Structure 1
Amino acid sequence: MNTVMVVGAGQMGAGIAEVFAAKGFHVLLHDQSKELAERGKLGIEGRLGRLLKKGYAKEEDVESTLKLIEPVFQLSEAARAELVIEAATENGEIKKQIFKTIDEFAPEGSIMATNTSSLPITDIASITSRPEQVIGMHFMNPVPRMKLVEVIRGLATSDDVYEEIMATSKKLGKIPVSAEDFPGFVSNRILMPMLNEAIFTLYEGVASAEDIDTVMKLGMNHPMGPLTLADFIGLDTCLSIMNVLHDGFGDSKYRPCPLLKKYVQAGWLGKKTGRGFFVYE
């Protein structure tokens, strides 16, 4: 495998592109326009530049990584890739439309992976003519720093595709963990209800946002409080995942907190909008 296409040049897509390029893969970084795709590469360049300035990276490594990233804005570029990783917004219909188009252009035998954090792989794969070639490859944010990759097989995913993705994850220096195709997989099935419960604790007036986070950091040794973490993930993403869990399991314990819904309706989505449970400059 030499050429990888990443669909979506936002925070997650750019991070995925960076780790592949750093390991010598030619990466086609796609977004809906040339400007957005190039902006994704500029973000990678800025991050690597900061690491270089602090002495955490070598100039030759930064140059070789950037040289291997090619911004593109046509999904037909999938014809050049042996692996296509979709990293678009966490919306099932959008993802299925992307996969339907990729399926038209990707070469026979190429693998189509989704970076979804909660949506069913089997459902996404069903829109294609080759569900056996579709798999979940859920990276953690920030991708260059986080070691975990959840690898999720759909109902039809072949053994060969699964083994290839497990091996590829290891080549990237990641630790792949296998998860079954259930809503939220392992990571978000456990994490999101915890964040949702922290939001309920705030909603019910049990404690302030600052004190809730302090309890979890000092009492449970978490590196970041749950409300701060929700802000960093994006409250719209948290709500989307809670809805997937609630719809998928039909269990009231996954009911999204009304306060989470209200913040999303207000456009208070966390760090990316400057305001969530905390205010960011």
Structure 2
Amino acid sequence: MSELIIEPIEKYGLNISHEKKALFSRIGIVGAGKEGRTIISLTASAGMDVVFMDESQERIDVVLEELNRVMDQKISKWGLTQSEKKVIMNRITPTLNYEDFVGCDMVIECTRYSETGRRSTPLRKNIFKILDEILEPDAIIATNGPTVIISELAADLVHKERCVSLYFPVSHPDARILEIVKGMYTSEEVYKKMEIFAQLINYRPHRINESNGNVSIRLLTTMLNESCQMLLERVSSMESIEETFTIIYGQRYGVFRLADIIGIERIVTIMEAMFNDFGQTHYKPNPLLWKLYRSNQLGVRTGKGFYIYDKNGNVISENKSLFN
């Protein structure tokens, strides 16, 4: 009788225990405000499984309802199908427990801004500490925002080299640049992985060395301040300044409209931080911005900023009370 020949089958890919896990196959999100929901939608649409955490079941229900609404808009305006929507939504899992982030390749902290436009640094440091304890050492811990805090958030962690800061512009769907901020402790390996992540979600990665406001916000706030000053000096009308911005310089929105979309409270808070850091007066919020901020006229979210909006966020008219 001939001898039975036995060959190992692992090299033929038949043994699933040796299957290599794809990078960024599972992502975690802590906090699902406007920015958090944007990242959830982006990553799930790119084929990643997403686990998001919010503070209560009531908040989770609101988030899922909003994600469904956004997907329905994509069906009506962007050609998404009902089947594709179902697949994307099935990739999204809500949770109230940090333990459900175990196994994630990256977790992004996206805690919501307060009514004053600020985010709690102690709260965010505590989130980073919990994630540092429960995640595998090679899992990335990220924060989303344009301010210089990643080195501070990472300073007390065991694996501080895996921490990085990201900024996803939220002004419009085609603003596909991801600002990747390398902190004092961030390893080059982690930065390279974030470049891959950007490409997976169809964003162009921009390397940023820690600087308050990154590049995008520093450019915007300088233009916004100058535009506000021209309004105060009656150099030109709001409509003309907006048309200069959109027609001559080819921007999608005027600078005042863009400020309303981002949120006056966020812009004022970031500008104050940049002014404190750099001491440059062109970062100090213009009196018109302070007037809107102090009167809680914060843009699209509150229905009134430089413009007045309907419940769907469409412009009704300029805000004439700004000049009273």
TM-score over 0.5 for the pair: yes
Q: Look up the SS of the partner of 1:183 in the other structure.
A: coil
Alignment counterpart, residue 147 of structure 1, candidates 156, 176, 182: 176
Give the drift of 1:92: 5.3
**Superposition pairs of residues 63-212 of structure 1, within 5 angstroms:** 63-88=86-111, 89=113, 91=119, 93=121, 94-141=123-170, 145-212=174-241
Distance of 2:188 and 2:78 partners within structure 1: 42
Give the drift of 1:115: 1.1
Distance of 1:17 and 1:170 partners within structure 2: 16
Unaligned runs of 5+ in 1: none
Distance of 1:92 and 1:265 partners within structure 2: 20
Q: Look up the SS of the partner of 2:308 in the other structure.
A: coil
Deviates more, 1:223-232 or 1:244-253: 244-253
Change over 3 Å in CA distance of 1:186–1:92 after alignment to 2 = farther
Q: Give aligned pairs, total.
A: 281
Q: Look up the SS of the partner of 1:279 in the other structure.
A: strand
Distance of 2:51 and 2:172 partners within structure 1: 17
Letter in 1 for 2:258: L
Alignment counterpart, residue 76 of structure 2, candidates 29, 53, 56: 53
Change over 3 Å in CA distance of 1:145–1:221 after alignment to 2 = closer
Letter in 2 for 1:166: E
TM-score normalised by the chain length of structure 2: 0.81
Change over 3 Å in CA distance of 1:180–1:55 after alignment to 2 = closer
Q: Look up the SS of the partner of 1:244 in the other structure.
A: helix
CA contact (8 A) 1:38 1:71 kept: no
CA contact (8 A) 1:12 1:142 kept: no
Structure with the bigger RCO (C-alpha within 8 Å, sep 6+) is: 1
Give the drift of 1:124: 2.3
Letter in 2 for 1:148: I
CA contact (8 A) 1:15 1:142 kept: no
TM-score normalised by the chain length of structure 1: 0.92
Which residue pairs with 1:34 in the alignment?
A: 57
Unaligned runs of 5+ in 2: 1-23, 311-324
Distance of 2:257 and 2:232 partners within structure 1: 15
CA contact (8 A) 1:99 1:127 kept: no
Distance of 2:103 and 2:300 partners within structure 1: 36
Give the drift of 1:127: 4.1
CA contact (8 A) 2:265 2:298 kept: yes
Distance of 1:194 and 1:25 partners within structure 2: 37
Alignment counterpart, residue 44 of structure 1, candidates 64, 67, 70: 67
Moved over 4 A (4+): none
CA radius of gyration, larger in: 2
> Pairwise CA RMSD of aligned residues?
1.9
